[in-house]
Structure 1
Amino acid sequence: MDSKDIKIVVTGDICINSLQWITYPQNSEGFNWQTHLNMHSILKPGESLLLSELVSLSTGACVLSPKIDDIEQTLSREFLRSTAELSLFSKYTDGRSKEKVYRVSRFLGFTGPTASNSKLLPIIKDDENADLVIIDDENNGFNLNVEYWPLAIKTLGKAPIVLYKLNNPNGSSNLWKHLESNHLENTIVIINADDLRSKGVNISKSLSWEKTAQNFLWQIENNPNLAFLAKCHHLVVPFGLEGAIYYRNDRITESRLYFLPYEFEGGLVNENQGRMYGLTSSFVAGLAQSIVVDNAKKELLAISINDGIRQGMVNAHKYFIEGFGKNVEETPFPNPAVFIEDKSNIIKKKHVQDVRIPCSTNINCPSCWYILKDKSSTNLAGIAYDIVKNGEEKVLNFIPIAQFGNLKTVDRIEIESYRSIKNLIWEYISTKNTVRPLSIAVFGTPGSGKSFGVTEIASSIAPKLIKKLDYNLSQFRSPSDLINAFHRVRDYSLKGRIPLVILDEFDSSFDGKLGWLKYFLAPMQDGVFREGEATHSIGKVILVFAGGTSSTFKEFCGKGILDENDQKQFNSYFKTAKGPDFVSRLRGYVNILGVNPTDDTMGDQLYIIRRAMLLRSLLERKVPHLINEHGEAQIDNGVLRALLKVPRYKHESRSMEAILEMSMLTQARKWEQSLLPAREQLKLHVDEEQFLRHMMHDAFYSEKIESIAIAIHDKYRSLNKDNIDYDENFIKPWHELSEDLKDCNRDEVKHIPEALLRINYDITSVKDKPQVKEFTQVELESLAEYEHTRWYLHRKDAGWSYGEVKSYKDKTDPAFVTWDMLPEEKKNKVYEVIKIWPEILANSNFNIEQLKFTCQCEHKSIEQGII
């Protein structure tokens, strides 16, 4: 079916948009009015009138809708009107051109109709057999007036697809009750996230996609005001231009998040780019576009929605970019170019990623769900190696990445903390007549980059306005040093700058523990500092308190102290030092995670990704000649493994940077093991024994394959020596085994590391015998299936085949079947072999190390065999 044969009805509330803008005189000659500022105004269609034009352009189908032929001539005061002021704004934010277009600089409000109800218009040539019905319900009267509803939804027996765009989450309207009773199965509800928030629905914004998605799912399942939306078979919620959620509740109950990896909600549009009405309408037009195309292919509705969300996000972004054009009176609006795909598109459908939102996560646990975990089939170590080798742009193009100036992070906890700080700084800068400073605390181990992170965030917001000032409190000898620092801060504030004051090691001792805190209270609370009898205003300033003795906010507040007496002692001196008063004046804090794993290792397995991103950055900045023309880093696998896997860097990122600078790489073509600093020099920054063991891991393991194979065989013999059902060839001493069986055992050992990687474990060489790992039942089953499949392929290559009787001469075996077909008693034999691995590996000084990052919630589930 051609799209022109599809009938679409578009209707809903009617609004006329009155646009006003000012132009400057072009010359000083001509009539008097031509030499002054000129005020222009024009009327444009809004709400359902605009939506019908967008749908017509996007689909090319026959669109039946209300019409106003000449909006300027037929304008009646019976219609609702919206007035907006326009200005010229840069078309793009990336500086690709100096072209400017008109967008809304200020919405001036509505002008109500002369009557109590806004005038509505009938659908021209309405058709009860319409294939697709699109309704724009702005809660301006249409949902109450049945006579204006489309015939296709009022006629019994008709079942069109309905796109129901609404801005008021209210399940009591007559229109919704009608759709719920008669068309729920084929209705797709579209409501903007900001419209939900405006009605008191608590969904986080611009922190992380995971948190936004979890908040939404919790609200839709628990908020009684959204109970009617939870009944929707298909609910689509756009989050700005950058994301959307598809909540499906028909035969399948599932929610999916769609997002742009390098952007967060609101990130594509700067404050100095203006605004546009009709963004959700252009998104709906994209949904309609995909439904029309897929209808010709007779695709399922859910598949059409999946594609339509991507198309809608592309359309909405292009619609914003085009604005009202560079000449409002001459540029067509809406612009047909919005729906023409070309190479210049900044956002393309392929850029939009999607992921299923888990419904079992703990909304208060930020470690419960990472998109990185769900979107990658590779373990974290594999991703980390790939980042260093090929660059994050090629590897991390499917997960959320936050960038603030030169700072990049993929860690959800860091993203949420950094974006919270960015939001605080932005609000503070934007607020006028602020009398008190913005106080933020930053914690992390020395070398983790505490001041760097906040500085990059501030610079990404207002680099010309903010002036960074650094002070280390451990170097101050008296309060007068602090007063002198505040005078300098005040000087910059009086010059119209906003000082970003880094107060490093603010928690250092001064006349006792935390002795400096009491001197910060007045500046933090009242924005003043005292010098003798004089009181000075410090002005508009951002105070950043960087911890020197506490690596986390929790540690600073003493919340991790387990001993009751120690806790009481801490509370006493913390109160005496004015700790609670200081904390109450903070408006935010961030824990910088750095390149070392946090103490909460169960919740922090992403340290290896942080290390990889830093290492790749160091290679690009300090030794770019080691990056070839294809963007591939030339680094030995052993060196890379050691740098990423060594347990701790003694001085965080400074140590990683030092090891690179100490290596002889100036004339090198590849970072080989021989170019590393001497063992004694490595000791300054890492445990050199552990570092070298990681570097030599492959060699260590290769050397021990034979001994591990013998140990596994001997253990297996001892467990089954009295079992008459076992093949005597398997319980012979190692030296009596045939070479074929020895090779089979060696092949098993060679593939143990690969098997463990499949369940997100790695083996590492350690100096002392580690604790023996015990596999969960779920892990055991996964390993056993892998091991049987490996054995099957190994035997197949050796010429074996299925036979009812096992024969070494004929190379037949009744176990030569797939895992699913293997009898239970033979599966148990495979389980027994797998259970031997951890003990033998531990005896050979190999530790089984978890790669899969889990939170405490998930770890409990794994231990119980739930997941």
Structure 2
Amino acid sequence: MKIVVSGDICINSLQWITEPQSSTGLNWQNHINMHSKLVSGESLLLSDLVSLATGATILSPKIANIESNLSKEFIRSTAELDLFPISNKKKEKVYRVKRFLGFTGPASGQPKLLPIDNDDINADIVIIDDENNGFNSNSDFWPLSIKSTDTSPLVLYKMNNPIGSNELWKQLEQYHIEKTIVIINGDDLRSKGVNISRSISWERTAQDFVWQINNNPNLSFLAKCHHLIVPFGLEGAIYYTNAKAPQSTLYFLPYEFEGGSFKDTDGKMYGLTSCFVAGLAHCIAMEQSYEEDLCHLIGEGIREGIVSAHKYFLNGFSKDLEVYEFPSPSIFIKEDKDTVFTELVQDAIIPNLCNFDAYSHWCILKDKSSANLAEIAYDIVKNGVESSLKFIPIAQFGNLQTVDRTEIESYRSIKNLMVEYISSKNVVRPLSIAVFGTPGSGKSFGVTEVAASISPGLIEKLNFNLSQFRNPLDLINAFHKVRDLSLEGKIPLIFFDEFDSAFEGKLGWLKYFLAPMQDGVFREGDSIHPIGKAIFVFAGGTNSTFGEFCGEHIQDETAKNKFLLEFKGAKGPDFISRLRGYVDILGPNQTDAEWDQLFIIRRAMLLRSLLERKVPHLINDNSEAQIDNGVLRALLKIPRYKHESRSMEAILEMSMLTNAKKWEQSDLPSKEQLKLHVDEEQFLRHLMQDAFFSEKIETLATALHEKYRALSKSDLSMDKDFLMPWQELSEDLKRSNRDMAKNIPNALIKINYDVISVKEIPSFMEFSEEELDALAENEHTRWYRHRKKDGWTYGEIKDHKKKTDPGLVSWEKLPQVKKDKVRKMVKIWPEILAQSNFKLERLKYSSCENPGIY
């Protein structure tokens, strides 16, 4: 395959310092040594990377010996290098960029370009590195195959400047747009004013991109691309295609967010996007017939590009620049020691959402998981978070883990604020944030873990409960403690619990915080004291959300006006103006019946964490939690915990688990003790669900048969065996009905329904056509496997002695008449369940039913 690589030319000058070589040699050897080296940059580096990635001979510009043939007409980039740890887990060090020192350009202002050695008009793939340094306007240096109107190469166009007015783009748009893949870094888009969030959540970044590509006039030329790839750091990328219908796909590393793999203290590297493009090129070049399924190849190439760029950063410029080769061939070789691999990179289709609520609640977890949320929750507790949630975004801050998009965005916003604040010099005022949540939801724990994940040795926590303060002097004493910590070189993390409690009237404490928040000082008599660098965290006690604190929930106009008048009098608006962020902690209780479906996942993660921390002996060597299914169901499915996470923790601590090998139902606290934390009747019904259902298997099986028999009396095609009364049925058919009854809960959970035991006979619902189809197929598959296990085989005639049955075929091959019979059977389930005091409860809101999606 003929691959041409060309574009702007840059020579990278690397400089680094080493310690004195000896103390006894020549004078210069006794001093710090300064080293420098010239290496390829821009299209020259891209050419080297593509050559290593593909193993092909690359047709590209060449400089035989950069050190001896350096021309002042070339652009030169200078960077200072230093040794940095390869990763957090490895102390071994490699050279990376400590700081970029800038560019040196030619005196003429026009950088020198180079022709392509042995250029071929029939090139299969053309890769262009357009850094907006002259190449895109100088057609003399363009590859022959893209200047020609008769050739049709695949073009990988790495673009730095996202504007559609340059000559090169016009050429590609007019003659090669269908086979052009544009690659532009997310930061390059942002630098042109394209508003795409960074490091908040993958959902938010993805939806911001979709909105921008659909609505931003500055990106209208990119919206015409048949293939557009936007890498976001080393951790993700978005692939947009409109070859048929516009569609965007997000590719991401589940346990990382944009920019999260490495810190600023790990150094920097240039050429990351070039390495990404080389990985992409490798995947495409390996396929001889890439045109047939180009979209799939691009997707696989993005995975490879993410992995390659990650390894490129880890390797840096090598351990010893005088000896080791750069770039290293190992970047594109799969090794057992790799920490990132293509199978780890996940993908998710980004929906087009027109409804704001749907937009803000889209969650990759729901889209990526074929299992029901309840099944995932059970698996999290039983097998751990990492085992159960391998394919969706997970945010971790110290000991805090969350998959809930709302929490991820809130916590990451707070973390970004803290990181920026801590790294800033000469700040004169504290960073002020607010945290709201119901008592026991974990307000203090969450923010503390976020702060500890940033700088555990530097940040020190202080806690003050304002409801216990008698007068403003108590607050002044608190500020003195904060100031003392600050003078010790620490950054105090101060929690002002119940800051919204009454004092000298409603919200009376707010006015005392205005000066410290704004000016970073507090007054004591005639003296004014500076507080120093500090983080103020205002934890709400009487308001569970920021909206409630501001009165947004008040619907009545008169009541709202009264509230706002009092709020203004208490300096509420002035207080809010000094805040730099806030978090609404969700906790284990459901906050909204329509949109908050992930509460069961939050509960599961909290419960797993409690088991690991409080009773680790219940986790076996395979990381499996030893807990009874009834206990687990009750803990996850109870509608409400009276004291949020404190109640979950209390139930565990009140259980007799010290010497237990498994958390059995008999280990739970008494009914009276449970009443302190949950509705004990509901808890016990969930607890005994299996027992309740098991007791009624015979009743359900009998009722299923009799109802089906009554509905099928007039069906002449029915097997007479099925039309007999229950007492006269063969034991084989009775067992078949019992098996169906036992399987009903498992079947229903796959279409997002749970079976709940109730006191009164409930009204029953009817399944939709889609639900009936899914249940019928599932039931036939269950029956098919059960029959096969019992030794039955396919036969044109049903024969009990030979165990042959014409129905033993896959669902797809089953005649429509037989499919209808299975549908008729599952259709009666809700009625039969209701007669036995079981109702169906919807488990989650399905995204396909959302009217905000089109």
TM-score norm. by structure 1 comes to: 0.91
Give 2:49's aligned amino acid: L
Aligned to 1:339: 332
Query: Post-superposition shift, 1:261?
Result: 0.9
Aligned to 1:15: 10
Query: Post-superposition shift, 1:840?
Result: 4.4
8 Å CA contact 1:690–1:766 kept in 2: the answer is no
Alpha-carbon distance in structure 1 between the residues aligned to 2:688 and 2:213: 52
- The secondary structure found in structure 2 opposite 1:133 is strand
Of 703-712 and 338-347, more deviation after overlay is shown by 703-712
Of 364-373 and 378-387, more deviation after overlay is shown by 364-373
Give 1:480's aligned amino acid: L
Alpha-carbon distance in structure 1 between the residues aligned to 2:837 and 2:501: 42
1:600-637 Cα distance to aligned partner (Å, 9 max, x none):
12211212212222222222222222222222222221
Aligned to 2:559: 566
Residue in structure 2 matching 1:676, options 664, 668, 673? 668
Residue in structure 2 matching 1:185, options 164, 174, 178? 178
Aligned to 2:86: 91
Q: Residues 406 and 58 (structure 1 numbering): CA distance in 2 closer, same or farther, change over 3 Å?
A: same
Query: Post-superposition shift, 1:833?
Result: 5.7
1:8-57 Cα distance to aligned partner (Å, 9 max, x none):
21110011112222333344444444433333322221100111111111
Alpha-carbon distance in structure 2 between the residues aligned to 1:367 and 1:782: 29
Q: Residues 512 and 833 (structure 1 numbering): CA distance in 2 closer, same or farther, change over 3 Å?
A: farther
Q: Residues 107 and 658 (structure 1 numbering): CA distance in 2 closer, same or farther, change over 3 Å?
A: same
Give 2:614's aligned amino acid: K
Aligned to 2:264: 271
Q: Residues 84 and 689 (structure 1 numbering): CA distance in 2 closer, same or farther, change over 3 Å?
A: same
Residue in structure 2 matching 1:518, options 507, 511, 529? 511
Give 2:190's aligned amino acid: R
8 Å CA contact 2:229–2:240 kept in 1: the answer is yes
Query: Post-superposition shift, 1:442?
Result: 0.8
Query: Post-superposition shift, 1:274?
Result: 1.0
Aligned to 1:578: 571
Alignment of 1:191-270 (within 5 A): 191-251=184-244, 253-270=246-263
8 Å CA contact 2:792–2:805 kept in 1: the answer is no
Matched, 1:375 2:375: no
Alpha-carbon distance in structure 1 between the residues aligned to 2:472 and 2:682: 45
Alpha-carbon distance in structure 1 between the residues aligned to 2:762 and 2:550: 35
Aligned to 1:704: 696
Q: Residues 523 and 116 (structure 1 numbering): CA distance in 2 closer, same or farther, change over 3 Å?
A: same
Matched, 1:73 2:68: yes
Q: Residues 481 and 767 (structure 1 numbering): CA distance in 2 closer, same or farther, change over 3 Å?
A: farther
Q: Residues 717 and 72 (structure 1 numbering): CA distance in 2 closer, same or farther, change over 3 Å?
A: closer
- The secondary structure found in structure 2 opposite 1:73 is helix
Aligned to 2:602: 610
Q: Residues 57 and 818 (structure 1 numbering): CA distance in 2 closer, same or farther, change over 3 Å?
A: closer
Residue in structure 2 matching 1:389, options 352, 361, 382? 382
Query: Post-superposition shift, 1:695?
Result: 1.5
Aligned to 1:852: 844
- The secondary structure found in structure 2 opposite 1:72 is helix
Query: Post-superposition shift, 1:159?
Result: 2.0
Matched, 1:465 2:431: no
Q: Residues 469 and 710 (structure 1 numbering): CA distance in 2 closer, same or farther, change over 3 Å?
A: same
Aligned to 2:45: 50
Alignment of 1:630-645 (within 5 A): 630-645=622-637
Aligned to 2:682: 690
- The secondary structure found in structure 1 opposite 2:522 is strand
- The secondary structure found in structure 1 opposite 2:445 is helix
Alpha-carbon distance in structure 2 between the residues aligned to 1:212 and 1:330: 41
Q: Residues 336 and 748 (structure 1 numbering): CA distance in 2 closer, same or farther, change over 3 Å?
A: closer
8 Å CA contact 1:807–1:813 kept in 2: the answer is yes
Query: Post-superposition shift, 1:542?
Result: 0.8
Give 2:152's aligned amino acid: A
Aligned to 1:3: none
Q: Residues 364 and 218 (structure 1 numbering): CA distance in 2 closer, same or farther, change over 3 Å?
A: farther
RMSD over equivalenced CA pairs, Å: 3.2
8 Å CA contact 2:495–2:538 kept in 1: the answer is yes
Alpha-carbon distance in structure 2 between the residues aligned to 1:584 and 1:255: 37
Residue in structure 2 matching 1:62, options 57, 64, 84? 57
Aligned to 1:499: 492
Q: Size of the alignment, in residue pairs?
A: 853
Q: Residues 632 and 747 (structure 1 numbering): CA distance in 2 closer, same or farther, change over 3 Å?
A: closer
Q: Residues 10 and 707 (structure 1 numbering): CA distance in 2 closer, same or farther, change over 3 Å?
A: same
Q: Residues 846 and 523 (structure 1 numbering): CA distance in 2 closer, same or farther, change over 3 Å?
A: farther
Alignment of 1:796-811 (within 5 A): none
Of 309-318 and 706-715, more deviation after overlay is shown by 706-715
Q: Residues 548 and 141 (structure 1 numbering): CA distance in 2 closer, same or farther, change over 3 Å?
A: same
Matched, 1:663 2:655: yes
1:58-114 Cα distance to aligned partner (Å, 9 max, x none):
2111111111112122222211121222222222222x22x2222111112222212
Of 169-178 and 814-823, more deviation after overlay is shown by 814-823
1:795-815 Cα distance to aligned partner (Å, 9 max, x none):
8979899999x9999999999
Residue in structure 1 matching 2:616, options 616, 621, 624? 624
8 Å CA contact 1:366–1:412 kept in 2: the answer is no
Aligned to 1:111: 104
Give 2:521's aligned amino acid: V
Q: Residues 316 and 364 (structure 1 numbering): CA distance in 2 closer, same or farther, change over 3 Å?
A: farther
Give 2:46's aligned amino acid: L
Alpha-carbon distance in structure 1 between the residues aligned to 2:20 and 2:769: 80
Q: Residues 823 and 319 (structure 1 numbering): CA distance in 2 closer, same or farther, change over 3 Å?
A: closer
Runs (5+) with no aligned partner, structure 2: none
Query: Post-superposition shift, 1:170?
Result: 1.3
Alignment of 1:649-798 (within 5 A): 649-709=641-701, 746-768=738-760, 772-787=764-779
- The secondary structure found in structure 2 opposite 1:294 is coil
Matched, 1:125 2:96: no
Runs (5+) with no aligned partner, structure 1: 1-5
Of 280-289 and 83-92, more deviation after overlay is shown by 83-92
Q: Residues 579 and 773 (structure 1 numbering): CA distance in 2 closer, same or farther, change over 3 Å?
A: farther
Aligned to 1:284: 277
8 Å CA contact 1:132–1:162 kept in 2: the answer is yes
Matched, 1:403 2:414: no
Q: Residues 548 and 235 (structure 1 numbering): CA distance in 2 closer, same or farther, change over 3 Å?
A: same
Alignment of 1:421-500 (within 5 A): 421-500=414-493
Alpha-carbon distance in structure 1 between the residues aligned to 2:633 and 2:447: 30
Query: Post-superposition shift, 1:255?
Result: 2.2
1:729-758 Cα distance to aligned partner (Å, 9 max, x none):
989987787877766654443332123112
Give 2:16's aligned amino acid: W
Give 1:677's aligned amino acid: P
Aligned to 2:534: 541
Alpha-carbon distance in structure 2 between the residues aligned to 1:691 and 1:644: 10
- The secondary structure found in structure 1 opposite 2:287 is helix
Give 1:391's aligned amino acid: G
Aligned to 2:348: 355
- The secondary structure found in structure 1 opposite 2:152 is coil
Q: Residues 190 and 860 (structure 1 numbering): CA distance in 2 closer, same or farther, change over 3 Å?
A: closer
Alpha-carbon distance in structure 1 between the residues aligned to 2:293 and 2:115: 31
Give 2:137's aligned amino acid: L
Give 1:10's aligned amino acid: V
Query: Post-superposition shift, 1:243?
Result: 0.8
Give 1:184's aligned amino acid: I
Alpha-carbon distance in structure 2 between the residues aligned to 1:289 and 1:714: 64
Aligned to 2:304: 311
Alpha-carbon distance in structure 2 between the residues aligned to 1:758 and 1:322: 45
Query: Post-superposition shift, 1:360?
Result: 4.0
8 Å CA contact 1:366–1:413 kept in 2: the answer is no
Matched, 1:169 2:162: yes
1:527-581 Cα distance to aligned partner (Å, 9 max, x none):
2222233322222211101111221112222212234443333333322222222
Give 1:55's aligned amino acid: V
Alpha-carbon distance in structure 2 between the residues aligned to 1:793 and 1:343: 39
